[in-house]
Amino acid sequence: MRRATRVAASVLVVGVLSGCAAEVPDRAVPPTASSTASAEASPTPRAGWWQPAGAPETLAVGLAAPWSVAPVPGGGALISQRDDGTLLELLPGGDLRSIGTVPGVVSGGESGLHGIALLEDGDTSWLYAYHGAQEDNRVIRMPLRGEPGTFEVGAAEVVFAGIPRASTHNGGRIAFGPDGFLYVSTGDAQQRDAAQDPDALGGKILRLTEAGESAPGNPGGGPAWSWGHRNVQGLAWTADGRMWASEFGQNTWDELNLIEPGGNYGWPIVEGMAGRDGLIDPLVVWATADASPSGIAAVGDTLFVAGLRGERVWMVDTSAGALAAEPVAVLTGEQGRLREAVAAPDGSLWLLTNNTDGRGTPRPEDDLLIRLPVQPRP
């Protein structure tokens, strides 16, 4: 197996946007965007390396433990809330409306409603969701009905079940890849040895058909695409078609990995870089205080990695599966914990904050959907 280029990223902060890394009780709220309708503009060609091009704007306020965001036609978005299982529609102008609650969501600890993804299948739009149930984590899908501003979800259909669940390490990111298959990240669910068992579902990235079957070409013929993962919460593909995943470490190193089919990424044998035969080292490692990486957005060949504990976005330029430059931190400490990063249709970056965990009654300024303009890097 080819080993990825290896770099350890320390706290490298560039003041693209001003901020401070210290804990602050009241987070800065960026100015409200005049409308989200700009998301319908012609997408900026995605190639090369990208960087922030201005100050962030607020698209939505008053969210409660949001986990995933999916842009929809009309300039809006769908947002999942982890703890209450609610699906929200963001309307142009910033208003929010509920389009339903995912049935069977059982929250607790870090479990609940996680990633969402949209699939257009002929005349039917499907909304896929990963969530914690009573005994397991599972992927379901629901028809998305109506038009922007009147969306609602139909009856849920279980696509894939039996993923181990625990109070922590539940994975939860789902995304349709360039090949049209559904990729699902699972955590080890505190069953460390499962990550090294190719037949177990914990500690894996799964590759499935839209109906939940093992996708053709999977290593070994089962659902697993890669293994040896602790807790993957970010999936993205750069413009060259390469797949990337962010992974929570244990006590020392968080990781950004270049994903290869059949690759073994080492957990729990190793954490971070090991240089051991048969195991694939990460491209980048961060101290856990500087990252705790969750969602990833790819714009061209630049990855934007949202950090929870690190309270920043790591900007990582890549080239042919290697680093093109040292990772750079932006938005450091300005909006607090960052859960999700999405490349929006208008070429900007959308970010979800995650500051309501453990706070109790959320305040409007606690959790936001933010728009960050980006531009090509010379």
Which pLDDT value is given to residue 53? 95
State the burial class of residue 181 (Cβ atoms within 10 Å of its Cβ: 0-12, 13-18, 19+): buried
Please give the Cα distance from 139 to 256 (Å, whole number): 24
- Supply 67's token pair: 């986990």
Please give the Cα distance from 172 to 189 (Å, whole number): 11
Please give the Cα distance from 278 to 1 (Å, whole number): 7
pLDDT in tens, 344-364: 998 999 999 999 865 556 666
Taking Cα atoms as reference points, which of 239, 166, 176 lies closest to residue 206?
Answer: 176
Which pLDDT value is given to residue 47? 81
- Supply 344's token pair: 């929006």
| Contacts of 368 by beta carbon, 8 Å cutoff, 6+ apart | 29, 30, 58, 59, 60, 61, 63, 335, 352, 353
Q: What is the mean pLDDT of the chain?
A: 89
Is the model's pLDDT at 120 over the cut of 80?
yes
Taking Cα atoms as reference points, which of 56, 48, 115 lies closest to residue 378?
Answer: 48
**Arithmetic mean of pLDDT, 194-213:** 97
- Supply 349's token pair: 């970056």
DSSP 289: G
Which pLDDT value is given to residue 208? 98
State the burial class of residue 56 (Cβ atoms within 10 Å of its Cβ: 0-12, 13-18, 19+): buried
Is the model's pLDDT at 45 over the cut of 90?
no
Which pLDDT value is given to residue 18? 31
**Arithmetic mean of pLDDT, 31-45:** 52
- Out of 120-124, 130-134, 286-290, 338-342, least confident range: 120-124
**Arithmetic mean of pLDDT, 141-165:** 97
- Cα distance between the two ends of the chain: 33
- Provide the percentage of residues in the chain whose pLDDT is more than 70: 88
Which pLDDT value is given to residue 175? 98
**CATH 2.120.10.30 matches 7-376:** yes
- Provide the percentage of residues in the chain whose pLDDT is more than 90: 81
- Out of 2-6, 112-116, 129-133, least confident range: 2-6
Which pLDDT value is given to residue 23? 40
- Asked if residue 227 lies in contact with residue 265, where contact means CB atoms within 8 angstroms, the answer is yes
Which pLDDT value is given to residue 20? 32
Is the model's pLDDT at 255 over the cut of 70?
yes
Q: How far is CA 355 from CA 177, 337, 363, in A?
A: 29, 6, 10
- Supply 118's token pair: 């949209």
Which pLDDT value is given to residue 250? 94
Is the model's pLDDT at 202 over the cut of 50?
yes
| Contacts of 28 by beta carbon, 8 Å cutoff, 6+ apart | 19, 334, 335
- Out of 2-6, 52-56, 106-110, least confident range: 2-6
